[in-house]
A = this chain, B = another copy of it.
Amino acid sequence: MKALGIIAGGGDLPRAVAESARESGRDVFVVGLRGLCGDWAEGFPHEWVSLGEPGRALKALAGAGAGDVLLVGRVERPKFSELKLDAKGLMVIPKVLAAARQGDDALLRLLVGLFEAEGFRAVGVADAAPGLVAEEGALGRIKPTDEHQADIARGFAIVRALGALDVGQAAAVCEGLALAVEAAEGTDRMIARVGELRESLRGTADKKRGVLVKGLKPTQDAKTDMPVVGVQTVRRAAEMGLAGIAVEAGKSLIVDKRAVKDEADRLGLFVMGIRP
A178 touches B166 (CB 8 A): yes
B184 touches A183 (CB 8 A): no
Chain B residues with CB under 8 Å of A103's CB are: 176-178
> Which residues of A, 172-226, contact B by the 8 Å Cβ criterion?
172, 175-185, 189, 193, 196-201
CA distance A224 to B223 in the complex (A): 45
Task: Say yes or no for A102: interface residue by CB 8 A criterion.
Answer: yes
Task: Say yes or no for A158: interface residue by CB 8 A criterion.
Answer: yes
CA distance A78 to B177 in the complex (A): 13
> Which residues of A, 38-90, contact B by the 8 Å Cβ criterion?
76-79
Chain B residues with CB under 8 Å of A101's CB are: 150, 175-176
Chain B residues with CB under 8 Å of A77's CB are: 177, 198, 200-201
Interface string of A83-125 (1 = CB under 8 A from B): 0000000000000000011111000000000000000000000
CA distance A181 to B190 in the complex (A): 10
Interface string of A144-168 (1 = CB under 8 A from B): 0000001000100110011011111
Q: How large is the interface on A (under 10, 10 to 19, 20 to 34, 35 or more residues)?
A: 35 or more
Chain B residues with CB under 8 Å of A150's CB are: 101
Min distance, Cβ A77 to any Cβ of chain B, angstroms: 6
Chain B residues with CB under 8 Å of A165's CB are: 154, 157-158, 161, 178
Task: Say yes or no for A132: interface residue by CB 8 A criterion.
Answer: no
Interface of A with B (CB < 8 Å)? 76-79, 100-104, 150, 154, 157-158, 161-162, 164-168, 171-172, 175-185, 189, 193, 196-201
- With A100-B176, A185-B193 already in contact, 20 other A-B pairs whose C-beta atoms are closer than 8 Å: A76-B198, A76-B201, A77-B200, A101-B175, A101-B176, A102-B176, A103-B177, A157-B165, A161-B161, A161-B165, A162-B162, A167-B171, A167-B178, A177-B184, A178-B184, A179-B183, A179-B184, A180-B184, A184-B197, A189-B196
What would 10 A/B residue contacts be, using CB atoms closer than 8 Å?
A: A76-B200, A77-B198, A77-B201, A100-B177, A158-B162, A166-B178, A168-B178, A168-B181, A178-B184, A180-B184
